[in-house]
Amino acid sequence: MSLLLCTSVSKRFGGIRALDGVSASVEENEILGLVGPNGSGKSTLINVLSGLYAADGGQAQFGDDDLLRLTPEKIAAAGVARTFQIPRPFATMTVRENVSVSYMFGHQRHSLEAARDAATEWLAFTGLEAAAERSVDELTLHQLKFLELARALATEPTLLLLDEVLAGLNPTEIDESIEMIKRIHERGVALVIVEHLLRVVTSLSHRIVVLDQGRVIASGDPTEVMEDPAVVAAYLGGSKPNA
């Protein structure tokens, strides 16, 4: 029984089929890489699964719920969290407050008092403890991305969707982020990683799904998939544009 089973998920924007019958699964405690050339629908899929966009068709079975029929709040309550590619921290709050707010509302509801203390755990986990009382405009991009992680983790998810968490980081920061992702996984959280850096994704993921123009063109073992000629062609631009 998969943790998440997507069947024929579709999303149109006007005349463009951003997602055209995407079917994929995420197993318990696995790291699934979601890759594909620009415009293939990776971020759209994340947005649809987290409830930011309404899907036009299909299902996303997560336990007893179909994520595509839930509001973002209910999706968070069900145990699915996500990070944003460009970090979106709560600008008027401190680092600690960002995390406590998340803890208060996520998978289970917690009180204000409990949240203030619990936030410490997540801040320590992501190494942001020393910056806890800072306001978010003092943070570097790397720290902001870790704040995204801390905030998402504080909702106590079973499934975490990471949308290009490595974008914009330098090599040292990327290595630290990879370590962080591994540690998150060790806690028993299943991960879907949307990423452009193929070497990273292939080394981190247990399985990979490749999207191109809204369709799944390959899925399975990372190394095998990346050598698939269809995948190579998609990346090198051999495929025709979406009608």
Partner 1 sequence: MTSRTKTLIGFAVVAVVLGLVPNVVEALDAPGFYLTFLFTMFFWISQSSSWNILTGYSGYFSFGQGAWFGIGVYTTGILAAKHGWPFLVALPVAGLVAGAAGLLLGLVVFRLRRLSGEIFALTTLAVSFVLASVARLTSLIDGGTGIFMTGTPLPEFLGDFRTSMYRMTLVIALLTVLTAYLIFESRLGWGLFSIRDDEEVARSLGVPTFRYKMTALGTNAFFGALMGGVWALQIGFVTVEDVFNIRVPLLVILMAVLGGMRHWMGPVVGAAIIYTLTDRLNSAGLADVNQLIIGALLIVMVLGVREGIYLRIRARWIASGVMFFGAMAVLTVFDLTSSLIWDFSYALLITMVMLLIPTPLWERLTRRRVAAPPGDPPPQQPVPSGTAST
* Residue 158 binds partner 1 (CB under 8 A): no
* Residue 46 binds partner 1 (CB under 8 A): no
* Residue 44 binds partner 1 (CB under 8 A): no
- Min dist CB 150 to partner 1, Å, is 11
* Residue 196 binds partner 1 (CB under 8 A): no
User: Site for partner 1 (CB under 8 A): which residue of 69, 88, 183, 187?
Assistant: 88
User: Site for partner 1 (CB under 8 A): which residue of 40, 43, 44, 50?
Assistant: 50
The binding track of 166-195 with respect to partner 1, each residue x by CB under 8 A or -, is ----x-xx--x---x---------------
User: Site for partner 1 (CB under 8 A): which residue of 8, 13, 28, 112?
Assistant: 112
User: Site for partner 1 (CB under 8 A): which residue of 5, 56, 66, 77?
Assistant: 77
* Residue 151 binds partner 1 (CB under 8 A): yes
User: Site for partner 1 (CB under 8 A): which residue of 26, 68, 76, 192?
Assistant: 76
Phi and psi (nearest 5°) for 227?
Answer: -95, -5
- Min dist CB 32 to partner 1, Å, is 19
* Residue 206 binds partner 1 (CB under 8 A): no
* CA 141 to each of CA 113, 119, 133, 162, 166: distance values in angstroms, whole numbers, following the listed order: 29, 20, 17, 16, 10
User: Site for partner 1 (CB under 8 A): which residue of 40, 43, 155, 158?
Assistant: 155
Q: Using H for helix, E for strand and C for coil, what is the string for the chain?
A: CCCEEEEEEEEEECCEEEEEEEEEEECCCCEEEEECCCCCCHHHHHHHHCCCCCCCEEEEEECCEEHHHCCHHHHHHHCEEECCCCCCCCCCCEHHHHHHHHHHHCCCCCCHHHHHHHHHHHHHHCCCHHHCCCEHHHCCHHHHHHHHHHHHHCCCCCEEEEECCCCCCCHHHHHHHHHHHHHHHHCCCEEEEECCCHHHHHHHCCEEEEEECCEEEEEECHHHHHHCHHHHHHHHCCCCCCC
Q: Give residues with Cβ within 8 angstroms of 73, minimum separation 6.
A: 105
The binding track of 127-146 with respect to partner 1, each residue x by CB under 8 A or -, is xxxxx--x---xxx-xx--x
Q: Which single residue is written with the structure tokens 């850096």?
A: 197
* Residue 232 binds partner 1 (CB under 8 A): no
* Residue 109 binds partner 1 (CB under 8 A): yes
Largest CA distance in the chain: 56
Query: Applying CB under 8 A, which residues contact partner 1?
Result: 50-52, 71-73, 75-77, 81-82, 84, 88, 90-93, 97, 100-102, 104-107, 109, 111-112, 126-131, 134, 138-140, 142-143, 146, 151-152, 155, 170, 172-173, 176, 180
